[in-house]
Structure 1
Amino acid sequence: MKPLFGYLFLAVGISCGIAANSFAKISEGFSKLSPSVLCIAFMFVTMFCIAKAMHALPVGFAYATYSGLTVTGVVLFALLKFNQVPNIYGLIGIILIIIGVVMVNYLGRLN
Protein backbone atom coordinates (compact mmCIF):
# COMPACT_ATOMS: atom_id res chain seq x y z
CA MET A 1 0.00 0.00 0.00
CA LYS A 2 1.25 3.49 -0.82
CA PRO A 3 1.87 6.00 1.98
CA LEU A 4 -0.83 8.30 0.56
CA PHE A 5 -3.46 5.64 1.26
CA GLY A 6 -1.97 5.21 4.72
CA TYR A 7 -2.50 8.88 5.44
CA LEU A 8 -6.04 8.71 4.05
CA PHE A 9 -6.85 5.78 6.32
CA LEU A 10 -5.22 7.67 9.17
CA ALA A 11 -7.40 10.73 8.53
CA VAL A 12 -10.55 8.61 8.50
CA GLY A 13 -9.39 6.84 11.66
CA ILE A 14 -8.79 10.15 13.43
CA SER A 15 -12.20 11.47 12.38
CA CYS A 16 -13.94 8.29 13.51
CA GLY A 17 -11.95 8.30 16.77
CA ILE A 18 -13.16 11.81 17.53
CA ALA A 19 -16.72 10.76 16.71
CA ALA A 20 -16.46 7.63 18.87
CA ASN A 21 -15.21 9.59 21.87
CA SER A 22 -17.88 12.22 21.34
CA PHE A 23 -20.62 9.58 21.27
CA ALA A 24 -19.12 8.04 24.42
CA LYS A 25 -19.79 11.34 26.20
CA ILE A 26 -23.26 11.72 24.71
CA SER A 27 -24.19 8.11 25.64
CA GLU A 28 -23.96 9.05 29.34
CA GLY A 29 -22.06 5.97 30.43
CA PHE A 30 -23.63 3.74 27.75
CA SER A 31 -27.08 4.31 29.25
CA LYS A 32 -28.52 5.66 25.97
CA LEU A 33 -28.83 3.07 23.21
CA SER A 34 -28.30 5.05 20.00
CA PRO A 35 -25.16 6.96 21.02
CA SER A 36 -23.75 3.77 22.58
CA VAL A 37 -24.20 1.78 19.37
CA LEU A 38 -22.70 4.63 17.32
CA CYS A 39 -19.73 4.85 19.70
CA ILE A 40 -18.98 1.15 19.32
CA ALA A 41 -19.46 1.27 15.53
CA PHE A 42 -17.12 4.22 15.17
CA MET A 43 -14.52 2.46 17.34
CA PHE A 44 -14.62 -0.55 15.01
CA VAL A 45 -14.08 1.71 12.00
CA THR A 46 -11.35 3.58 13.86
CA MET A 47 -9.39 0.42 14.67
CA PHE A 48 -9.79 -0.90 11.13
CA CYS A 49 -8.50 2.35 9.64
CA ILE A 50 -5.59 2.61 12.08
CA ALA A 51 -4.59 -0.98 11.29
CA LYS A 52 -4.69 -0.22 7.55
CA ALA A 53 -2.70 2.99 8.08
CA MET A 54 -0.04 1.08 10.02
CA HIS A 55 0.30 -1.26 7.06
CA ALA A 56 1.58 1.66 4.95
CA LEU A 57 3.13 3.92 7.60
CA PRO A 58 5.53 3.29 10.46
CA VAL A 59 3.65 2.24 13.58
CA GLY A 60 5.10 4.97 15.79
CA PHE A 61 4.22 7.76 13.38
CA ALA A 62 0.73 6.44 12.68
CA TYR A 63 -0.20 5.91 16.33
CA ALA A 64 1.41 9.13 17.57
CA THR A 65 -0.47 11.11 14.94
CA TYR A 66 -3.74 9.28 15.61
CA SER A 67 -3.58 9.69 19.38
CA GLY A 68 -2.40 13.30 19.39
CA LEU A 69 -4.90 14.58 16.85
CA THR A 70 -7.76 12.57 18.34
CA VAL A 71 -7.13 14.05 21.79
CA THR A 72 -6.96 17.53 20.28
CA GLY A 73 -10.15 16.94 18.30
CA VAL A 74 -12.03 15.71 21.35
CA VAL A 75 -10.96 18.80 23.30
CA LEU A 76 -12.26 20.99 20.45
CA PHE A 77 -15.52 19.01 20.39
CA ALA A 78 -15.94 19.50 24.15
CA LEU A 79 -15.25 23.20 23.73
CA LEU A 80 -17.82 23.62 20.97
CA LYS A 81 -20.56 21.24 22.16
CA PHE A 82 -20.34 21.44 25.95
CA ASN A 83 -18.55 24.78 26.43
CA GLN A 84 -15.79 23.01 28.39
CA VAL A 85 -12.92 25.47 28.19
CA PRO A 86 -9.57 24.05 29.29
CA ASN A 87 -7.50 26.06 31.74
CA ILE A 88 -4.06 27.45 30.85
CA TYR A 89 -2.33 24.16 31.67
CA GLY A 90 -4.74 22.26 29.44
CA LEU A 91 -4.13 24.70 26.60
CA ILE A 92 -0.36 24.40 27.01
CA GLY A 93 -0.70 20.61 26.99
CA ILE A 94 -2.76 20.63 23.78
CA ILE A 95 -0.25 22.97 22.12
CA LEU A 96 2.58 20.63 23.15
CA ILE A 97 0.66 17.64 21.73
CA ILE A 98 0.25 19.43 18.40
CA ILE A 99 3.94 20.38 18.38
CA GLY A 100 4.80 16.75 19.13
CA VAL A 101 2.67 15.47 16.24
CA VAL A 102 4.31 17.94 13.86
CA MET A 103 7.77 16.98 15.09
CA VAL A 104 7.12 13.25 14.75
CA ASN A 105 5.74 13.63 11.23
CA TYR A 106 8.20 16.15 9.81
CA LEU A 107 11.38 15.76 11.83
CA GLY A 108 11.24 12.18 13.06
CA ARG A 109 11.51 10.29 9.77
CA LEU A 110 13.25 6.94 9.73
CA ASN A 111 16.25 6.41 7.48
Structure 2
Amino acid sequence: MNYAYLLAAILCEVIATSALKAAEGFTRLGPSLVVVIGYGLAFYCLSLTLRTIPVGIAYALWSGIGIVLIALAGWILYRQPLDMPAVIGMALIVAGVLVINLFSRTAGR
Protein backbone atom coordinates (compact mmCIF):
# COMPACT_ATOMS: atom_id res chain seq x y z
CA MET A 1 0.00 0.00 0.00
CA ASN A 2 2.89 2.37 0.67
CA TYR A 3 3.98 2.22 -2.95
CA ALA A 4 0.41 3.08 -3.96
CA TYR A 5 0.66 6.20 -1.79
CA LEU A 6 3.99 6.99 -3.40
CA LEU A 7 2.49 6.60 -6.86
CA ALA A 8 -0.40 8.88 -5.86
CA ALA A 9 2.11 11.44 -4.55
CA ILE A 10 4.04 11.35 -7.81
CA LEU A 11 0.92 11.71 -9.95
CA CYS A 12 -0.39 14.62 -7.84
CA GLU A 13 2.99 16.34 -8.09
CA VAL A 14 3.11 15.84 -11.86
CA ILE A 15 -0.40 17.27 -12.26
CA ALA A 16 0.43 20.24 -10.02
CA THR A 17 3.72 20.96 -11.77
CA SER A 18 2.09 20.69 -15.19
CA ALA A 19 -0.54 23.22 -14.08
CA LEU A 20 2.15 25.74 -13.05
CA LYS A 21 2.62 26.87 -16.64
CA ALA A 22 -1.13 27.26 -17.15
CA ALA A 23 -1.40 29.20 -13.86
CA GLU A 24 0.69 31.98 -15.46
CA GLY A 25 2.36 33.12 -12.26
CA PHE A 26 -0.76 32.38 -10.18
CA THR A 27 -2.78 34.94 -12.15
CA ARG A 28 -5.34 32.34 -13.30
CA LEU A 29 -7.53 30.94 -10.52
CA GLY A 30 -8.39 27.48 -11.89
CA PRO A 31 -4.87 26.29 -12.67
CA SER A 32 -3.60 27.97 -9.48
CA LEU A 33 -6.04 25.91 -7.42
CA VAL A 34 -4.87 22.76 -9.20
CA VAL A 35 -1.28 23.64 -8.26
CA VAL A 36 -2.02 24.28 -4.57
CA ILE A 37 -4.32 21.29 -4.11
CA GLY A 38 -2.07 19.01 -6.15
CA TYR A 39 1.03 19.84 -4.13
CA GLY A 40 -0.91 19.54 -0.88
CA LEU A 41 -2.11 16.06 -1.81
CA ALA A 42 1.33 15.11 -3.10
CA PHE A 43 3.04 15.97 0.18
CA TYR A 44 0.31 14.29 2.22
CA CYS A 45 0.62 11.07 0.21
CA LEU A 46 4.41 11.26 0.39
CA SER A 47 4.21 11.59 4.17
CA LEU A 48 2.16 8.37 4.30
CA THR A 49 4.84 6.47 2.41
CA LEU A 50 7.48 7.51 4.92
CA ARG A 51 5.92 5.22 7.53
CA THR A 52 7.78 2.28 6.01
CA ILE A 53 9.85 3.50 3.05
CA PRO A 54 13.09 5.31 3.97
CA VAL A 55 12.98 9.02 3.09
CA GLY A 56 15.97 8.81 0.75
CA ILE A 57 14.47 5.95 -1.24
CA ALA A 58 11.02 7.56 -1.38
CA TYR A 59 12.45 10.88 -2.52
CA ALA A 60 14.70 9.24 -5.10
CA LEU A 61 11.72 7.43 -6.59
CA TRP A 62 9.49 10.51 -6.40
CA SER A 63 12.00 12.80 -8.07
CA GLY A 64 13.24 10.30 -10.67
CA ILE A 65 9.83 9.20 -11.87
CA GLY A 66 8.50 12.75 -11.54
CA ILE A 67 11.26 14.19 -13.74
CA VAL A 68 10.48 11.77 -16.53
CA LEU A 69 6.70 12.27 -16.29
CA ILE A 70 7.02 16.07 -16.18
CA ALA A 71 9.28 16.02 -19.25
CA LEU A 72 6.72 13.86 -21.05
CA ALA A 73 3.88 16.15 -19.96
CA GLY A 74 5.80 19.18 -21.24
CA TRP A 75 6.42 17.42 -24.54
CA ILE A 76 2.77 16.36 -24.95
CA LEU A 77 0.88 19.32 -23.42
CA TYR A 78 3.16 22.23 -24.26
CA ARG A 79 5.02 20.90 -27.31
CA GLN A 80 8.38 21.35 -25.55
CA PRO A 81 10.92 19.30 -27.49
CA LEU A 82 13.28 16.79 -25.91
CA ASP A 83 16.69 16.46 -27.52
CA MET A 84 18.81 13.32 -27.42
CA PRO A 85 20.90 14.33 -24.37
CA ALA A 86 17.67 14.93 -22.43
CA VAL A 87 16.31 11.53 -23.45
CA ILE A 88 19.58 9.81 -22.53
CA GLY A 89 19.67 11.60 -19.17
CA MET A 90 16.12 10.54 -18.39
CA ALA A 91 16.93 6.96 -19.41
CA LEU A 92 19.77 7.03 -16.88
CA ILE A 93 17.35 8.31 -14.23
CA VAL A 94 14.94 5.46 -15.01
CA ALA A 95 17.87 3.03 -14.79
CA GLY A 96 18.71 4.42 -11.36
CA VAL A 97 15.12 4.02 -10.17
CA LEU A 98 15.16 0.42 -11.41
CA VAL A 99 18.44 -0.32 -9.62
CA ILE A 100 16.99 1.04 -6.38
CA ASN A 101 13.81 -1.02 -6.69
CA LEU A 102 15.41 -4.24 -7.89
CA PHE A 103 18.62 -4.38 -5.88
CA SER A 104 18.47 -2.10 -2.84
CA ARG A 105 17.81 -3.71 0.51
CA THR A 106 16.79 -0.35 1.94
CA ALA A 107 13.78 0.01 -0.34
CA GLY A 108 11.43 -0.91 2.51
CA ARG A 109 9.86 -4.12 1.28
One fold, TM greater than 0.5? Answer: yes
From 49, 61, 68, the equivalent of 1:65 is 61
Gaps of 5+ in 1: none
**Which among 7, 22, 37 is matched to residue 26 of structure 1?**
22
- Which residues in structure 2 correspond to 1:46-65 (within 5 Å)? 46-65=42-61
**Unaligned segments of structure 2, at least 5 residues:** none
- Percent identity between matched residues is 30
For the residue of structure 1 that corresponds to 2:105, the secondary structure is: coil
Distance in 2 between the 1:109 and 1:28 partners? 43
Other-structure match for 2:103: 107
TM-score, L = length of structure 2: 0.92
Residue aligning to 1:86: 82
- Residue type at the aligned position of 1:49: C
- The Cα RMSD (Å) is 1.3
Count of equivalent residues: 107
Runs in 1 of length 4+ with deviation above 6 angstroms? none
CA distance in structure 2 between the partners assigned to 1:29 and 1:109 by the alignment: 42
Match of 2:71 among 60, 70, 75: 75
One-letter amino acid of the structure 1 residue matched with residue 45 of structure 2: C
Distance (Å, rounded) in 2 between the aligned partners of 1:44 and 1:22: 15
